[in-house]
Structure 1
C-alpha cells in the first residue's frame, strides 16, 4: 500500500499537537516524555525529536522512522525511546499510539516498584485492573519495549509503570494513549492521597468487570449513536 505524503503530514500535525496535552496536564518537565503514532498502512511511525523543548516543537520537527527505529524522514534525531516504541508497534499490531511520561505521582509508584491498586471506579473504567509494574530496563535500546509488551500483553490496562523509570501507555490511537497517560497520573495521585489516611481496599473483581464493561461499551455518545442507527435499520 502506497502511503500518501499528506497522510504522513497529517500524523505529524496530530503528534505535534498532542504533545501540548502532556504539558497542559502536567505530565512532563523540560524535554522529558514523548508521543508516537503509527502511520496507517505502512511500517512507519512518527515520534517526537530528542531533546527539543515542547514550545519549539512543530509538525516539521516530528521524525518519521521505520518500525526498526531507522530514520526515514526528519531533520532531527528521534527520541531516545524510539526503539522501545518501535518494538511495541512490531509486537502489538492493534496499537497505534504510544506515550511516555515521568508524571510525578505515577512515577513515584514506579520508583517503589508497586502496582497501583484498582481501588476507585475511575480506575475500573479506564484500566479494568491494577496498573501493573514492568521490569527495570535501560534507555536507548528495545529492552523497555520488550518489558512493556511482556507486561501489557493479555492485560486490560493500557498503562504500565516501568520500574524506576516512568509511565508508558498504549492505545488504538495516539490520542487514546495520551488519555490513558492523563488518567494514569490522576488515579495515581488519588490513590496515593487515600493511602496517606490509611489502607486502601481494591474493588471487588465483579464490580471492576461491570464498571469496565459499562465504560468501554456504553458510556458516552457511541451507544446512543449505535441505538439510533439500529432504529433506522
Structure 2
C-alpha cells in the first residue's frame, strides 16, 4: 500500500516540508562548486523520525530535472526501499535514478543522515582508474581520516551501488567512496555534511592529481593521520554553547 503524505501525522508532514527545503537549497551547491553538469548528481536527506509507526523516509531530487527548476515542492519523498510515496508531486515526476543506492545506504547505516552523488571531474577521473586517493594532505587526514577508497563496479538500476557503498564505507573513516568507473558518493550526518564531503573530495582529488604531475607526493605517517583526524573531528571549530573554552584552531 502506497503511503500518502497528507495522511501522515502533522509532525511528520512538517519534518518532510523542512527536509524538502534543505535538500532543494543544497542542490544549488553542486553546480556552484563545479561538481555537476546538466542534470547529473543528486543530494538526499533522511527525514527525521518524529512520529512512532511512520516508516523511514528520504527526500531526493527528481530524475532529469534542471537544477534551475529544483524547488522544494519538486523534491520527491521515498521510503527506505526506494519507493515514491504520494507526496503531492505529479505521478510522472519520478525520483533520481540513484534513489535505490541512497535508500540502501540509509537502511543499512543508521548514522548516515545525508548522501550526495556527483560526477565531479577529478574525483571521477580517479574512479575511472579504480585508484584510491592516497592520504598525502593534512586536509585529507582531517576530513576523511585516511585515503578515499574505491568501491566496486556496479550498474545503475537496483541497489547494487548502495551495497558497494556500504561494503566499502562500513568499516572506514572516510565519508567518500569512489565507485569504480562511475564517480564519488559521500555520506554525512545530514545532507549539508554530505555536500561538504563532496566538495572536499573533489578538492583533494584535484590537488593530489596536480601534485603527482610534479613528482611522487610525500606520505603522512599513520600516527599523524590519526592525530589530525581526532583533532579536526573533536576539537576544531567553535565550542558548543556553554562548553568550556577550546584552544584556538587553524581557519
Asked if TM exceeds 0.5, the reply is yes
Matches within 5 A, 1:1-233: 2=9, 3-41=11-49, 42-72=55-85, 73=87, 74-75=89-90, 76-222=93-239, 226-228=243-245
Aligned residue-pair number:
229
Q: Distance in 2 between matches of 1:197 and 1:225?
A: 47
Deviation at 1:222, TM superposition (A): 2.5
What is the TM-score normalised by the length of structure 2? 0.88
What is the TM-score normalised by the length of structure 1? 0.95
Deviation at 1:29, TM superposition (A): 0.3
Q: Distance in 2 between matches of 1:226 and 1:34?
A: 36
User: What do you get for the CA RMSD once the two structures are aligned?
Assistant: 1.5
Deviation at 1:140, TM superposition (A): 1.5
* Higher mean displacement: 218-227 or 159-168: 218-227
Segments of 5+ residues of structure 1 without an aligned counterpart are: none
Question: Retained in 1: the 8 A contact 2:239–2:245?
Answer: no
Segments of 5+ residues of structure 2 without an aligned counterpart are: 1-7, 50-54, 247-251
What is the DSSP-based 3-state SS (H/G/I as helix, E as strand, rest coil) of the residue aligned with 2:64?
coil
CA offset digits 1:71-107 (Å, max 9, x no partner): 1123210000000000000000110100000000000
Q: Which runs of 4+ in 1 moved over 6 A?
A: none
